[in-house]
Amino acid sequence: MKNHLIDLNDFSKSQWDEIINLGEKIMDNPHIYEASCRGKIMGTLFYEPSTRTQMSFQSAMLRLGGGIIGFDNPTASSVMKGESLKDTTKTVSGYSDIMVMRHPVAGSVKAAALTADCPIINAGDGGHLHPTQTLTDMLTLQKEKGRLTTLKIGICGDLKYGRTVHSLVKALSCYEGNSFVFISTEELQMPSYITESLEKWHKADSLDEIIGELDVLYMTRIQKERFTSVDEYEKQASRYILDMEKLSKGKRDLIVLHPLPRLNEIAIEVDDDPRSLYFKQANYGMYVRMALILIILNYDIKPPVLLRGGVRAGIRCENPKCILQTETHLEHSFIECDGVLTCEYCETRKMYPI
């Protein structure tokens, strides 16, 4: 079995926590992990536009010491010649140790996983799911709210086609005490396959009526590319806009998130409010993706190189309290500077014998 991540449910809840905790650790000490994926290659196949997801994955792999191949413009690949999804993904999976794929059709990444020769990560399949955005959101909540439980989360905008919120609600409903308020038009409501397994949720028509009760406000873009006609889209566009007037009714410890890109659903003036965390959220995404790559590849963290000196024939550390006297398998190693030798372990010095 390969460790594919198509839906967050492919992993256990304790594995989600493991990824988030590792993301935090990486953020605190990124240099420890900088060679963890040396020699590994990540293939990124983006059949749909992307800035954050694609670049944060690429940056994550480069920061782990690995390499990247792939395309973000399928028309410059054999897709343009009519190659099937199966053939392209099968081929690239043979060149890669791990693959990340975004595609406009729901279920496409799962389909690719059936024949892929390496683990594959869903970076968004149509209007369906986007599990790594959810890991990003969870790391953001952990860092900024200190918890993933007992949160009242308002989700506003395109709940029908917005894949990020489908994955988000599925995941956060597994943590104790969370409740959801879905703020959307009738046409863009949360699909029933998400709501039917939820316990604590209700709908709201306007941001004004509910913003004061929320711990988290998650804004989303109306997904123009998923509408069947421009007319239909235009009826929905600009219905919910978070501006300073509305935000002023929010709690002092409310946080405002958005997977980005934003159009006009968050007024620019809101960016300067300390509760607006969407750019920070995008940054957290890189660390959580580093953690995910490591966990999927069953990483072998190469510790930072501690020893910088060298072994000198016949020269030994004589400090009786040095670990070298008891751990006899260790080699006596010294750093040399201006004719002075310093033991790597206890820092006892001796003159370089002439």
Q: Which residues bind ligand NCD (CB under 6 A)?
A: 52-53, 124, 130, 133, 163-164, 221, 223, 259-260
Tell me whether residue 81 is one of the annotated catalytic residues.
Answer: yes
Tell me whether residue 332 is one of the annotated catalytic residues.
Answer: no
Whose Cβ is closer to ligand NCD: residue 256's or residue 324's? Answer: 256
Q: Are 352 and 341 in contact (CB under 8 A)?
A: yes
Whose Cβ is closer to ligand NCD: residue 187's or residue 300's? Answer: 187
Q: How far is the CB of 260 from ligand NCD (least distance, A)?
A: 5
Whose Cβ is closer to ligand NCD: residue 281's or residue 333's? Answer: 281
Whose Cβ is closer to ligand NCD: residue 124's or residue 154's? Answer: 124
* Separation of alpha carbons 348 and 226, rounded Å: 68
Q: How far is the CB of 161 from ligand NCD (least distance, A)?
A: 9
Q: How far is the CB of 315 from ligand NCD (least distance, A)?
A: 57
Q: How far is the CB of 106 from ligand NCD (least distance, A)?
A: 12
Lookup: tokens for 54: 């694609």
Residues 6+ apart with CB under 8 A from 345: 317, 322, 323, 324, 330, 333
Kindly list the distances between the CA atom of residue 14 and the CA atoms of 1, 21, 123, 331, in Å, as whole numbers in the listed order: 19, 10, 21, 41
Whose Cβ is closer to ligand NCD: residue 173's or residue 223's? Answer: 223
User: Which residue, chain included where needed, has tokens 């890669």?
Assistant: 96
Catalytic residue among 130, 152, 163, 332: 130
Maximal CA-CA distance, the chain: 88
Q: Are 46 and 109 in contact (CB under 8 A)?
A: no
Residue 125: strand, helix, or coil: strand
Q: Which segments of the chain does DSSP mark as H helices, in order?
A: 13-28, 52-63, 85-95, 108-115, 131-145, 163-172, 192-195, 207-210, 230-236, 244-247, 278-296
Lookup: tokens for 233: 């889209």
Catalytic residue among 4, 40, 44, 53: 53
Catalytic residue among 40, 63, 102, 160: 102
Catalytic residue among 25, 52, 90, 316: 52
Tell me whether residue 130 is one of the annotated catalytic residues.
Answer: yes
Catalytic residue among 31, 75, 81, 252: 81
Tell me the pairing of strands 340-343 and 333-337.
antiparallel
User: Count of H helices and E strands in the chain?
Assistant: 11, 13
Q: How far is the CB of 52 from ligand NCD (least distance, A)?
A: 5
Whose Cβ is closer to ligand NCD: residue 289's or residue 332's? Answer: 289
Q: How far is the CB of 165 from ligand NCD (least distance, A)?
A: 9
The residues assigned a catalytic role are 52-53, 81, 102, 130
